[in-house]
Structure 1
Amino acid sequence: MTSTVLTFAVSALTFVLVSLTPGDAARAVLGRDATPEQYRQLRAQLGLDEPLAVQYWHWLVRAVHGDLGTALSTGQPVLRTLEQRLGPSLSLITGALVVSALLGVGLGVLSAVRGGAVGRALDLLSMLGLALPSFWLGLVLVAAFAVALPIFPASGYVPLTDSPWEWLRSLALPVLTLGIGGSATIAKQTRDAMLDEMGRDYIVLLRARGLPERSIVLRHALKNAAVPVVTVLGLLFVGLLSGSVLAETVYVVPGLGSTAVTATQAHDIPLIQGVALCFTVIVITVNLLVELLYGRLDPRSRG
Structure 2
Amino acid sequence: MVRLILTRLVLSVVLVVIASLAIFFLMSLVPGDPARTILGANATPDLVARLRQQLGLNQPLPVQYGRWFVGLLHGDLGDSVLSGEPVTSLILARVPVTLSLLVLSTLVIGVLGTLIGLGSAVRGGAVGRLLDTVSLVGLALPSYWIAVVLVAVFAVAIRLFPATGYSPLAEDPVQWLLSLVLPVTALSLGGITIVAKQMRDSALDVLGRDYIRVLRASGVRERSIVLKHVLRNAALPSLTVLGITIVAALTGAVFVENVFVLPGLGSLVTQATTSHDLPVVLGVGVFFTLFVIVVNLVIDVLYGVLNPKVRVR
Question: TM-score, length-normalised on structure 1?
Answer: 0.97
In structure 2, the partner of 1:238 is 247
The CA deviation at 1:47 is: 0.2
Corresponding letter in the other structure for 1:81: L
Stretch moving more, 120-129 or 283-292 = 120-129
1:136 matches 2:145: yes
Equivalence for 2:31: 22
Of 120-129 and 2-11, the range deviating more from structure 2:
120-129
Q: 2:123 matched to 1:153?
A: no
Question: Which segment drifts farther, 123-132 or 18-27?
Answer: 123-132
CA contact (8 A) 1:14 1:276 kept: yes
Cα distance in 1 between the residues matched to 2:297 and 2:164:
34
Number of corresponding residues:
303
1:102 is displaced (CA, Å) by 2.1
In the alignment, which residue of structure 2 is the partner of 1:86?
95
Kept after mapping to 2: 8 A contact 1:206/1:216: yes
Alpha-carbon displacement from aligned partner over 1:205-241 (angstroms, at most 9, x marks no partner): 1111212212211221011111111111111111011
Once the two structures are superposed, residues 2-49 of structure 1 have per-residue CA deviations (whole angstroms, 9 ceiling, x without a partner) of 111111111111111101110111111111122222211110110001
2:305 is aligned with 1:285? no
**Amino acid paired to 2:52:** R
1:127 correspondence with 2:133: no
Tell me how far apart the structure 1 counterparts of residues 29 and 135 of structure 2 sit (CA, whole Å). Answer: 40
**CA deviation digits over 1:182-217, x for unaligned, max 9?**
101101110110011000111111111212212211
Can you give the 5+ residue segments of structure 2 that lack an aligned partner in the other structure? 1-9
1: distance between equivalents of 2:303 and 2:195?
Answer: 17
Quote the residue 1:116 is aligned against: 125
Please state how far the C-alpha of 1:133 moved relative to its aligned partner. 2.6
Whichever residue aligns with residue 32 of structure 1, its letter is: A
Worse-matched range after superposition: 236-245 or 96-105: 96-105
Q: Does 1:298 align with 2:297?
A: no
Give the alignment of 1:38-57 within 5 angstroms.
38-57=47-66
Following superposition, the deviation at residue 117 of structure 1 comes to 2.2
Residue deviations 1:139-160, cap 9 Å, x none? 2211221112111110111111
Alpha-carbon distance in 2 for matches of 1:100, 1:118: 18
- The equivalent residue for 2:192 is 183
For 2:296, give the aligned amino acid: N
Further displaced range: 127-136 or 187-196? 127-136
Segments of 5+ residues of structure 1 without an aligned counterpart are none
The 2-side partners of 1:233 and 1:200 are apart by 24
1:169 equivalent in structure 2? 178
Give the TM-score of the pair, scaled to structure 2.
0.94
Q: Structure 1, residues 91-119: CA drift from partner, whole Å, max 9, x if none?
A: 11111121112221122112111112232
Alpha-carbon distance in structure 1 between the residues aligned to 2:103 and 2:300: 18
CA distance in 2, matches of 1:167, 1:219: 36
Is the partner of 2:169 in helix, strand or coil? coil
Which residue number in structure 1 is paired with residue 4 of structure 2? none
The percentage of aligned residue pairs carrying the same residue is 52
1:144 counterpart letter in structure 2: V
Cross-structure match for 1:210: 219
Q: Is the Cα contact below 8 Å between 1:111 and 1:123 reproduced in 2? A: no
SS of the residue corresponding to residue 143 of structure 1 reads helix
**Do residues 275 (structure 1) and 284 (structure 2) align?**
yes
- SS of alignment partner, residue 225 of structure 1: helix
Amino acid at match of 1:130: L
Give distance in 2, aligned partners of 1:5 and 1:50.
25
Which residue of 2 is the match for residue 225 of structure 1? 234
How far off is 1:131 after superposition? 2.3
